[in-house]
């Protein structure tokens, strides 16, 4: 039983830096001609720099002509 509790604590401690369960920013972009929509959001398995993840996605789709139609921030 003690080993199980220690394992659970170790798992929780390992996940804390990733902010599991926290609300993240989501940016919805849409291409004006094709009407295709995409979401820029944090990939939990990606970089730990969440702001950079979102901004890189937003920048890439902006360069492809997508417009912002929603932003949770």
Structure tokens at 2: 């003690």
Q: Does pTM surpass 0.95?
A: no
Q: What is the pLDDT of residue 71?
A: 94
Q: Does an H or E element contain 27, and which?
A: strand 26-30
Tens digit of each residue's pLDDT, the chain (73 residues):
544 444 444 444 454 455 554 458 899 999 999 999 999 999 888 888 888 999 999 999 999 999 999 999 8
Q: 5 lies in a domain?
A: no
Q: 26 lies in a domain?
A: yes
Q: What is the pLDDT of residue 17?
A: 52
Q: 16 lies in a domain?
A: no
How many domains is the chain partitioned into structurally?
1
DSSP 73: -
């Amino acid at each position: 039983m003690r080993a199980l509790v220690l394992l659970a604590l170790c798992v929780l401690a390992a996940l804390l830096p990733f902010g599991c369960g926290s609300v993240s920013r989501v940016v919805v972009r849409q291409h004006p001609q094709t009407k295709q929509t995409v979401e820029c959001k944090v990939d939990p398995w990606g970089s730990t720099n969440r702001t950079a993840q979102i901004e890189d996605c937003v920048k890439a789709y902006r360069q492809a002509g997508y417009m912002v139609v929603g932003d949770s921030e």
